[in-house]
Amino acid sequence: MTTQEWKFTAKDIASQPELFLSGHRACAGCGPATVLRLIMKAARGPTIVTQATGCMEVVSSIYPYTSWGVPWLHTAFETAAANASGIDAALKAMSKKGKVKEHIDVIAIAGDGGTFDIGLQALSGAVERGHDFLFVLYDNEGYMNTGIQRSGGTPTGAATTTTPAGSAIPGKVEKKKPIDEIMLAHDMPYVATATPYYWKDMLTKVRKGLEVEGPAFLHIFAPCPRGWRSEPAKSIEYSKLAVESCVFPVWEAMNGKRQLSTPSRLIALAPQKKRPVKDYLAGQGRFRHLFTPQNQHVLVEMQRFTDEHWERLLQKCEPSS
């Protein structure tokens, strides 16, 4: 059944078996945990998951307990995509020799640490070699598991333990690495962004990524109440605000042809619905220092480049059919 035919309701998804099981040790209100729980609902058959070191890896595999209902491998921090390459090669070789009879989907999961930074080389290599796998990036915008340090995915202005909001420097100065543009530049079959609030959109993209032959990349926004110093109850709400303020637009690109997904398209069609970036930042402790007179300029700059990126994105997207 292809994604064209895959129609699903909340009841359908709710009735699917849990493959990311309860009893994991993620914080209360963990955005990535919701993301992982949901994306496993889009698994379409035999699946192998390999994961990079990080929050979700650690909380779901504390020996002797495991939260994984599928075969699962963790090796190191840099290696999610390298593992996926090895698994893909093994399955191909074993299929040719008749040792594996069915198609098995391979999913590599990594946080922003294991993707933007230390994992980028392996990801780039695996994509260039054309391995058949889906790479899921759950982006909580920092090295959260080791204590909230900055990553290439941390946005400008965010306070982390390695970019604290000090009297001389107001949090992270650098911009968030444009990982999606980097992946698009690889000329790969499927690149998409998603957030858990729009779970139908997210699950459809997981399916598309699995169906595509060759590498697929899915960047999922995943709020972290501990690292962002935000209310645990609002993790999903922030993933909605991020789209409404155009801080994290949702789109997909099949073979390089980029299209806005419905939640972001609605904003493009009705720009009055676009929320100011301030609305998204408010309530997140990591941005609290920006709401002071001496750091006003950072807020202004953040609104400016969010608008700029949004305009640029609109130009790059194909008009929807």
Least distance to other proteins from the beta carbon of 109, Å? Answer: 13
Closest CA to 271 of 254, 249, 287: 249
Taking the CA of residue 157 as centre, how many other CA atoms within 13 Å lie in the half-sphere pointing to its CB? Answer: 24
Q: Segment contacting other proteins (CB under 8 A): 82-90, 146-154, 168-176, 180-188?
A: 82-90
Is there binding between residue 214 and other proteins (CB under 8 A)? no
Least distance to other proteins from the beta carbon of 140, Å? Answer: 12
* C-beta of 250 vs 253, nearer to other proteins: 250
CA distances from 68 to 18, 20, 111, 212 (A): 9, 5, 17, 24
Is there binding between residue 75 and other proteins (CB under 8 A)? yes
End-to-end CA distance of the chain: 23
Regarding beta strands 134-139 and 105-111, do their DSSP bridges make them parallel or antiparallel, or are they unpaired? parallel
* C-beta of 230 vs 306, nearer to other proteins: 230
Least distance to other proteins from the beta carbon of 314, Å? Answer: 29
Is there binding between residue 163 and other proteins (CB under 8 A)? no
Place of tokens 């399916």: 207
Q: Are 245 and 284 in contact (CB under 8 A)?
A: no
- Distance CA(190)–CA(19), nearest Å, equals 24
* C-beta of 5 vs 102, nearer to other proteins: 102
Write out the binding residues for other proteins, residues 235-264 only, by CB under 8 A. Answer: 235-237
- Distance CA(68)–CA(45), nearest Å, equals 15
Is there binding between residue 82 and other proteins (CB under 8 A)? yes
Least distance to other proteins from the beta carbon of 299, Å? Answer: 25
Is there binding between residue 63 and other proteins (CB under 8 A)? yes
Q: Are 256 and 172 in contact (CB under 8 A)?
A: no
CA distances from 78 to 47, 118, 166, 318 (A): 21, 5, 31, 34
Least distance to other proteins from the beta carbon of 153, Å? Answer: 20
Among 3, 33, 42, 244, binds other proteins (CB under 8 A): 33
Residue 79, phi then psi, degrees to nearest 5 = -105, 10
Write out the binding residues for other proteins, residues 83-112 only, by CB under 8 A. Answer: 83-87, 89-94, 96-97, 99, 102, 104
Write out the binding residues for other proteins, residues 183-202 only, by CB under 8 A. Answer: 196, 199
Write out the binding residues for other proteins, residues 123-152 only, by CB under 8 A. Answer: 124-126, 128-129
Is there binding between residue 15 and other proteins (CB under 8 A)? yes
